[in-house]
Amino acid sequence: MISSQLIVVYLLFLLTASAEVSYASNDELPVVRNIRELNQDGETIPGISHITVAGALSHGFKEIEVWLETVAPGGHTPVHRHDCEEIFVVVKGSGTLYLASTTGSEFPGSPKEFPFSTNSTFHVPQNDAHQVWNTNRFEDLQYFVVISRPPMNLFVYEDWLTPHSAAVPVFPVMWDAKHYKSSSSASSDEL
Amino acid sequence: MISSQLIVVYLLFLLTASAEVSYASNDELPVVRNIRELNQDGETIPGISHITVAGALSHGFKEIEVWLETVAPGGHTPVHRHDCEEIFVVVKGSGTLYLASTTGSEFPGSPKEFPFSTNSTFHVPQNDAHQVWNTNRFEDLQYFVVISRPPMNLFVYEDWLTPHSAAVPVFPVMWDAKHYKSSSSASSDEL
């Protein structure tokens, strides 16, 4: 269910990719920027608002990305995995991380539950299937995410019983799609 | 001046390195931790308090590190450079980033000044010499730092006129020294 919603949103993004120019290198990026003035990338996953604070396709970083995400009460990411390192720093609200190892089984199965709250930091072991929920009924959940090896190669599961081999590859991720698209256009314009 | 203070602090750390066990891999690390309960690594640079939220030598991360640093009024980093990517997210206070390119000259020379404040994000171009000051006389400056390719290889300048070739290599950095030391001890114990 989530996976199909995600793919629809993803396809819509590809279709409506704007002509906004992406940064080829962060030499073009102002050194200091105000996070509160950065564009929200919309609800790219239902219930989640995403800002790329410092990104690869969007700003030219090569080795790290920093995101700021806000999850509405009851909102959650899809079950997914990726091979990069990922560290969360929670600045507001509370929630639960669901985590299942990807090794030694055909599908994630029952995940372990890790509750967290404001000032928590948590990490996702590389390639482990996981999902983050805002379990607070009244308050937004907000966290910074740091990943390595951008741009992210994402694999989305329908649910915890989806075989690892059936997880759907998503590249570029939804908030990177417009930058990826415009980079391709820029290349063809050079002919 | 700063450089010599830094080296003294660094040597003290090496001499007093504790027997604390470092994490060989982040499989041993609790998935969720409270940042407010993490140990301060002391004033490793005069006026700066450092917490490694997620580190390579301290926690087993391989591709990214996240730090939380608090700079007292008037406090500042030394002039330094490193070849990793570095992104700051300012959560409290205000200050100034001083930045000078390392290419095309024998020494950094006059740096450009970039004022910043709460909710600013800024990045340091790879290998550029830089220095961060808390220019607020009354309030602490606090920021998260994200770096790639940990552990950091640091080069410290006496001042902006120090030749690049005379910048002092510092490895491990001060807050990593105890973990580096205990890792070495652990290896010799295995003989």
In order of start, what are the domains of chain A with their CATH numbers?
A: 2-189 (2.60.120.10)
User: B78 preceded by cis ω (within 30°)?
Assistant: no
Mean residue pLDDT of chain B comes to 85
Local confidence band at A42 (pLDDT 50, 70, 90 cut-offs): low
Closest CA to A173 of A38, A27, A67: A67
Residue count of chain A, please give it.
191
Contact between B104 and B40 (Cβ < 8 Å):
no
Local confidence band at A28 (pLDDT 50, 70, 90 cut-offs): confident
Residue B61 touches chain A, beta carbons under 8 Å: yes
pLDDT above 50 (res A82): yes
Contact between A156 and A167 (Cβ < 8 Å):
yes
Residue A62 touches chain B, beta carbons under 8 Å: yes
Which tokens sit at B133? 């000051």
- Mutation for B interface: A37, A64, A145, most B CBs within 10 A: A64
Query: Which pTM was predicted?
Result: 0.84
Q: Do the chains contact at B148 and A97, CB–CB below 8 Å?
A: no
- pLDDT tens for chain B, 191 residues: list them: 445 555 444 434 433 333 333 444 777 899 999 999 998 776 678 899 999 999 999 999 999 999 999 999 999 999 999 999 999 999 999 999 999 988 889 999 999 999 999 999 999 999 999 999 999 999 999 999 999 999 999 999 999 999 999 999 999 998 898 888 655 444 444 43
Token pair 């509160």 in the structure block, residue: A36
Residue B42 touches chain A, beta carbons under 8 Å: no
Beta-carbon contacts of A158 under 8 Å, excluding residues fewer than 6 positions away, are: A1, A2, A3, A79, A166
Closest CA to B140 of B90, B85, B177, B188: B90
Q: Do the chains contact at A64 and B64, CB–CB below 8 Å?
A: yes
Task: Give the number of A-B residue pairs with CB atoms closer than 8 Å.
Answer: 111
- For B19-70, write each residue's pLDDT tens digit: 333 444 777 899 999 999 998 776 678 899 999 999 999 999 999 999 999 9
Give contacts of B119 with chain A, Cβ < 8 Å. Answer: 34-36
- Mutation for B interface: A121, A130, A131, most B CBs within 10 A: A121
Of A62, A85, A99, the CB nearest to B85: A62
Instruction: Tell me the backbone φ, ψ of residue A117, rounded to 5 degrees.
Output: -150, -175
Which of 132-191 (A) contact B at CB < 8 A?
144, 146-149
